[in-house]
Chains A and B, each alone.
Chain A
Amino acid sequence: MINLTIEDRNGDRQPVEIPEGINLSLMEVLKASEYDVLATCGGMALCATCHIQVLEGPEQYFHATDNELDMLDTLPNADEHSRLACQMRVTEEMDGLVVRLK
């Protein structure tokens, strides 16, 4: 199991458990867990409505790729821990990640 912690917009934290080996993005996991994520573009890094912040966890998830940074630049509330959930594949290495919905 991959264990994630999601902080919603009210600041409440909930654990989410994801079976290993499922080929989903974090955005899809958030939607499946019924979080209010718009994801207008369906995961193409075109809409920035799946914006999250990485609060704790494996170092590599703190850094967005160039493609994401293009999009994050169009958001007023992005910072250096911002990522697009649709651009993050859920893998075992993600275990322990804490993210906040923006």
Chain B
Amino acid sequence: MEHIDTDICIIGAGPVGLFAVFESGLLKMRCHLIDVLPQVGGQLSEIYPHKPIYDIPGYPEVTAQELVDRLMEQIAPFHPTFSLGERVETLNRHDDGSYTIQTNDNTTVHCQVVVIAGGLGCFEPRKPEIDRLIEFEGKGVAYMVKNPELFRDRKVVLAGGGDSALDWAIFLANVAERVTLVHRGDTFRGVPDSAEKVFELAREGKIDLILKSNVVALTGEGHLQEITLLDRNNEVSHIAADHLIPLFGLSPKLGPIANWGLNISFSAIEVNTRDYSTSVERIYAIGDINTYPGKLKLILCGFHEAALMAQSAFKYVYPEQKLSFKYTTVYGVTEF
């Protein structure tokens, strides 16, 4: 269990959350970011890393992942800290107005201001319809490979036909006792190189490839032991397995933020456009997660909202000081 003390806790490390670190950093406010995804970048890294973006000022064209990389470079001088792979669950207000935020991994963050930059919401794994799947979560079923060592010398079944299923099959072939990849189709698209490699590993007998089949049921006493498969001819078979990793991508859900008593309309948080504050003091909402008359869900608009939020949040972090507006062009980014 980790405890962090900071000025601003930002929920969501998408482009808007990242840029909020820059705007807060200029005003000497420290930031901690939390994201349920194992990497930063939000929708840009998760949905469309290779797509070009044309509407970022100063960049006639930039790929989504490149923009995220540049944002990370831009905020590096402010030394933000991160809890990645963790979902924010609860929020507690203290008598002095500050907050403590807790994640599903029991990390706690004490802060003066909370900034929700949660975009479309939490990206959560798409779960296939498999009998007893939920029951074996944490007892053999996992939707992400956080630590490959967990699978050393174990029997691992991967399900899915996208890039991550291929990549992990290749990687775990050298780690696990046995890797089985189950896919409903008989061809793999995605990166042709990885598909070719998987077929080669199967030919060499280094992994088992089960095509035109789906995982339909799980069995075990306390921990996963066996997987039931159904093929296209409705034939049933069983394989021994210690772990099942269904890799069917992620889909966004509003998640726990919906229960925090903020004014919500159509899955978005209502804000005051003066400073993007919510109906609750010291909580701001910026980027795709907020709504107001005329809202545009664009990265550019989220950047603007981050700047106004930081100016407003200053009064809670430095109640004794008066904010005077300065330009970075005169002082540089860390010389204020």
Interface size for A (C-beta < 8 A) is 17
Q: Determine chain B's interface SS by DSSP, over half rule.
A: loop
Q: Report Cα–Cα, A75/B160, bound state, in Å.
A: 8
Q: Which residue of A lies closest to B128 (CB)?
A: A76
A70 adjacent to chain B (CB < 8 Å): yes
Contact B48 A46 (CB under 8 A): yes
A79 adjacent to chain B (CB < 8 Å): yes
**What residues on B are CB-neighbors of A44 within 8 Å?**
48, 51
**What residues on B are CB-neighbors of A66 within 8 Å?**
189
Contact B162 A76 (CB under 8 A): no
A23 adjacent to chain B (CB < 8 Å): no
A74 adjacent to chain B (CB < 8 Å): yes
Q: Report Cα–Cα, A48/B126, bound state, in Å.
A: 11
B295 adjacent to chain A (CB < 8 Å): no
Contact A46 B51 (CB under 8 A): yes
**Stretch binding the partner chain, chosen from B104-112, B150-158, B244-252:** B244-252
Q: Take A40-B47, A48-B249 as given contacts and tell me if A73 and B189 are in contact as well, using a CB distance cutoff of 8 Å.
A: yes
Contact A73 B48 (CB under 8 A): no
A41 adjacent to chain B (CB < 8 Å): yes
Contact A74 B248 (CB under 8 A): yes
A44 to chain B minimum Cβ distance, whole angstroms, is 8
Q: Take A69-B189, A70-B189 as given contacts and tell me if A75 and B248 are in contact as well, using a CB distance cutoff of 8 Å.
A: yes
B127 adjacent to chain A (CB < 8 Å): yes
B184 adjacent to chain A (CB < 8 Å): yes
Q: Report Cα–Cα, A76/B216, bound state, in Å.
A: 11
Q: Report Cα–Cα, A40/B251, bound state, in Å.
A: 10
Q: Which residue of A lies closest to B185 (CB)?
A: A73
**What residues on A are CB-neighbors of B43 within 8 Å?**
40
A: which residues have CB within 8 A of B? 40-41, 44, 46-49, 66, 69-70, 73-79
